[in-house]
Amino acid sequence: MAFTVKPDRGDHIIDLPRKVVVGFGVLEKVGGYMATLYGRGSSFLIITGPNVRGIALNTILDSLQDGGFNAWDSIVNDASVYTAARIAEEAAKDRVDAIIGLGGGKSIDVAKYAAKTGGKSFISIPTVASHDGITSPYASLKGFDKPVSRLAKPPDAIIVDVKVIASAPRRYNIAGFGDLIGKLTAVRDWRLANMLKGEYYGDYAASLALMSATHVSTYYREIAAGSPEGYRILLEALVSSGVAMCIAGSTRPASGSEHLFAHALTITAKNPPLHGEAVAVGTIIMASLHGINWRKIRKLLKTVGAPTNARELGVTSDEVIKALTIAPTIRPDRYTILGDKPLEQDVAYNLARKVEVID
């Protein structure tokens, strides 16, 4: 199918990571990798959470200090714009060159946004592979007016220790798989917005995002088994989805109607699931609207051990229906298969029931 080629408004600038390292025991070598990017004596501020502290922080601090760098850490307890502003201030006062986000979603998002507001470099060192925010230039923080991500800073470097990722609870990595499967519908929503609304569409970025979904689908056995090869494949795919967003200059290739549903569920659910888990279920629902084989997608998710219905997500049927009705209003500028008006209650109910997300 051919798509309308629309020039981007203004110059299309692509910022990509300068270094991506995925390997075993790589945290001990962070100082060496940084020496290829930053001058001796450069300063690094590591943002991390209270739970991550023991795992990897000291290894990285030692490696940076042994490499002739200044490095210290700051613990954050929440992922809010206020915390990010405080970190940006701290980084300016202490004249740091780069802010490192070490951990899961929260530390990475705070570091990424603080780096943007403070004009610093951002380095991503994820300890879980639960979503593609670990590699993308977008952050989602509390204190924004909507629960959607905003442009922050693309990572200057991404360093992932497979040993650390493998020690995280399996649920996190399976959520990462779910986030990637979401690209199957995200890319279709983007094409739709191009055809119906004349929105800019980049086929290269779209293909790259789609490839990250097909890559993990091909190797689902390795990922389900939690083998080292499985973790590597999952991480490669997350990096490629993050890079697709860098190339597109938006989250479009990685986030469509399935993400609107996942974002809406964070509002409607008392105990929201992990982002990638909600995306997995959202993908089943939106696949049926797009006329693609939702049963096949559901089977794949089930085989890997991802949630495929409300009960497995730990949410109620009402919370799912409410999320579906408000999903199109979460981000009015993002046209998707859900259209641009709230869904009628009975439409949402029938849709969720049809794909067996609710009983």
Q: Which residues in this chain contact Zn ion in the complex, by CB under 5 A?
A: 131, 179
Q: Which is nearer to Zn ion, 112 or 131 (CB)?
A: 131
The whole-angstrom separation of Cα 315 and Cα 310 is: 5
Give percent helix, percent strand, percent coil of the chain, each to the nearest 5: 55, 10, 35
Q: Kindly state the smallest distance separating residue 133's Cβ from Zn ion, in Å.
A: 7
Contact of 189 with 256, CB cutoff 8 Å? yes
Nearer to Zn ion, 280 or 337 (CB): 280
Least separation in angstroms between residue 25's CB and Zn ion is: 28
Nearer to Zn ion, 149 or 308 (CB): 149
Least CB distance from residue 183 to Zn ion, whole Å?
Answer: 9
**Among the listed residues 76, 97, 102, the one whose alpha carbon sits nearest the alpha carbon of residue 87:** 76
CA pseudo-torsion sign 228, 170, 234, 32: negative
Are the C-beta atoms of 336 and 356 separated by less than 8 Å? no
Q: Which residue is nearest to Zn ion (CB)?
A: 179
- Extract the tokens encoding 121: 């470099």
Q: How far is the CB of 323 from Zn ion (least distance, A)?
A: 15
CB of 290 to Zn ion, least distance (A): 18
**Residue closer to Zn ion (CB basis): 178 or 202:** 178
Which lies closer to Zn ion via its Cβ, residue 156 or residue 179? Answer: 179
Q: Which amino acid is at 220?
A: Y
Minimum Å distance from CB 34 to Zn ion?
A: 28
Of 97, 102, 115, the closest CA to residue 48 belongs to 102
**Looking at beta carbons only, is 179 or 319 nearer to Zn ion?**
179
CA 121 to CA 118: how far, in whole Å? 9
